[in-house]
């Protein structure tokens, strides 16, 4: 075993700074936000709205504008309250801790529901590629 060097921090020493180290860059943050806003619906919805023709393109345009406005809103909220906590902190600051709890709990629940919806979409794609339904006994 080697002795720890003088440059390594030990558990008893306080951290040099109280702020978290930034390891999450602009590109990663942008990709994460766009993935959360767009979601998996972009892969499953075109087939569902195709019978409606060009009005579906107008709907996608309106929803894209709404997504950009939502992203700008969260950017402004993050600038106003630059602390960690996201969807808990913003309603808590405005309406109190119970509103923050409801917001965070609703977001967490919505994430689980969206994971289930993505699983259903994946099964739909896999069923087209590898049809396993029919007269096969399980």
pLDDT digits (tens, 9 = 90+) for 72-119: 888 898 888 888 888 899 999 999 999 999 999 998 998 888 888 888
Phi, psi of 5, rounded to the nearest 5 degrees: -75, 165
For residue 97, how many other CB atoms are within 10 A of its CB?
Answer: 11
pTM confidence score: 0.57
Which residues, 6+ apart, have CB-to-CB distance to 92 below 8 Å? Answer: 85, 99, 100, 101, 103
SS3 73: helix
CA distance 22 to 82: 13
């Amino acid at each position: 075993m080697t002795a720890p060097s003088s440059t390594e921090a030990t558990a008893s020493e306080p951290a040099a700074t109280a702020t978290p180290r930034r390891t999450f860059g602009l590109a990663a943050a942008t990709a994460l936000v766009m993935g959360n806003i767009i979601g998996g619906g972009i892969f499953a919805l075109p087939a569902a709205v195709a019978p409606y023709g060009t009005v579906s393109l107008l709907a996608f345009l309106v929803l894209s504008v709404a997504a950009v406005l939502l992203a700008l809103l969260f950017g402004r909220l993050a600038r106003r309250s630059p602390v960690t906590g996201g969807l808990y902190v913003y309603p808590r600051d405005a309406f109190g801790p119970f509103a923050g709890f409801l917001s965070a709990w609703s977001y967490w629940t919505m994430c689980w529901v969206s994971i289930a919806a993505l699983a259903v979409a994946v099964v739909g794609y896999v069923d087209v590629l590898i049809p396993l339904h029919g007269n096969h006994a399980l």
